[in-house]
Amino acid sequence: MGRQGARALGAALLCAALLAGSAAPEEAVEPSGGNFGGMGLVESRNARMRADGTIEAGVSQRHQRRFSFINWQAVPWLEATFRLTDRLNATTGHGKTTDRAFDLRARLWTENDWRPALAVGVQDAIGTGIYAAEYIVGSKRFWDFDLTLGMGWGRLATGSDLTNPLGYGLAAFNTRPRQVGQGGVPSFNTLFRGPRADLFGGVEWNVPEIPTPFGGLSGLRVKLEYSGDALRDERGGYPSRSYALRGRAETRFNAGLQWGN
């Protein structure tokens, strides 16, 4: 089976699970954040929201990039994230700020026994456009497992071979204007546009409390995701003028272990 066939099969199975009815009552489980800021898996977002009014901050790092972010649950259905991205020198480890981004994510409806929670989001909405992306994502909980499936555009479709489905209805969606560097200017003419879209998703396991000689250990999360971001512009900065400078993620799968929320 080819890569596209395997992706389609995996998406179909995950979609069936998301749309199926839950076989057990859902327990209230506090959502967890991703290393890109906001609620999510490892780097991909999900459809979960924090408690109304929650404000939190964090720092994460991956190869030659450090992300510092502040997250605000403005209202029960709307999350806002402000993020600074530092490009790190591989030799000294010192950072240089290369991007400021503002993200918004809105929940369209909550989860019930028969449907997943659904959210729509815009990434780097008023930033420089380096990480600009849009997505629609659903999440459904089964016991201690939270499944997520979504479709992304822009940065979240950088390694995709799937055609943008919106382009079938309106040809304008098949092109995406390149506006890197125009920080502080909303880019409404790029929303959900581009020749490609891609699927992303994964699962988060809320590990049951583990007994230890010092008491119960709780709050562990195991995460596995398939990301739509191929990281093709990470190597050599952005935008790379030479194709030889462009990197690409060795794998689109990410895994993580998290303690706490």
The one-character DSSP state at 214 is T
| Cα end-to-end distance, the chain, whole Å | 38
Query: Please, which residues bridge with residue 226 across strands?
Result: 201, 253
pLDDT at 126: 80
> Can you tell me the distance from the alpha carbon of 190 to that of 129, in angstroms, rounded to the nearest whole number?
10
What's residue 237's pLDDT? 44
CB burial class (10 A; 0-12, 13-18, 19+) of residue 225?
buried
Q: Note the pLDDT of residue 24.
A: 40
Dihedral sign from CA coordinates of 185, 52, 22, 217:
positive
The predicted structure's pLDDT at residue 108: 98
Report the C-alpha gap between 158 and 230 in whole angstroms: 6
Q: What is the pLDDT of residue 7?
A: 53
Reported as a single tens digit per residue, the pLDDT across 227-253 is 988 876 665 444 443 344 445 556 789
* pLDDT score, position 62: 78
pLDDT of residue 6: 47
- Burial class, 236, CB count within 10 angstroms (exposed 0-12 / middle 13-18 / buried 19+): middle
Please give the pLDDT value at position 151.
97
Query: What pLDDT, on a 0 to 100 scale, did the predictor assign at position 188?
Result: 75
Residue ranges of the chain whose pLDDT lies below 70: 1-27, 89-95, 97, 179-185, 232-250, 261
Helix (H, G, I), strand (E, B) or coil at 168: helix
The bridge status of strand 220-226 relative to strand 253-259 is antiparallel
